[in-house]
Amino acid sequence: MAISPFEEFIHFSAMPAMSLEEFSPLVEPAVVELWHMHGIGCTTDGFLKVIDPGSYLAMIGEYLPRPDMIPVLATGMGDIVVAYSGKYRVLQFRYARVTGGVGSSLARIGRRAADCEYLEEFLDAKPYFEAARTYGPLNSPDDLDWIFGYKVPVPAGGPEGVDHLERSRIFEHIALTVALSGPIPFAG
């Protein structure tokens, strides 16, 4: 099945050839098509980002619940969509939980990304859009690794709400969240 492209995708760079070579055999063809079609960049005003799995594994691989998870997307709230065991899981570091909300294929992700109800239901996007209205969106190449993170991570007892969000680098925010609240529980 051919991938549906993202609407209003902002291209930052091509996917590195090393990552294409290493990870293409490990993900579904739709993801490889996405990498070739869009490369690295963002859509939905910076909420959803196509990322380099090699770079993310180098930076946060130790915080993933399983070493065979492959990061393919990141959100502007610091969540990571990973390919694992033929499905996609959302690692919601901001809540220290794993969801299976995006299904077994990313072939329709471009169409779904334009649907605010889908983004809210499966990726809990509302806090990002509130923060983007307040602080400005994270949709430039300089914002690729930046998110809106809670000043005190929610799993460590921090409050939610736009007043408690700040711009943070995703890698450091994930490390801080795991250090304060422990690893994300994952049963498989």
Q: Are 132 and 138 in contact (CB under 8 A)?
A: yes
Q: What are the sequence ranges of the domains in the chain?
A: 10-181
Across 169-173, average pLDDT: 96
Cα–Cα distances (Å) from 8 to 41, 46, 57, in that order, read 11, 10, 27
pLDDT tens, position by position, 64-92 = 999 999 999 999 999 999 999 888 889 99
Share of the chain above pLDDT 90, in %: 68
Report the pLDDT value the prediction gives residue 188, as an integer from 0 to 100.
65
State the pLDDT at residue 119.
85
Q: pLDDT digits over 10-61, tens only?
A: 999 999 999 999 999 999 898 999 999 999 999 999 999 999 999 999 999 9
Q: Are 138 and 169 in contact (CB under 8 A)?
A: no
| 8: confidence class by pLDDT, cuts 50, 70, 90 | confident
pLDDT at 186: 81
Q: Report the C-alpha gap between 171 and 183 in whole angstroms.
A: 14
- Pairwise CA distance, residues 102 & 123, whole Å: 8
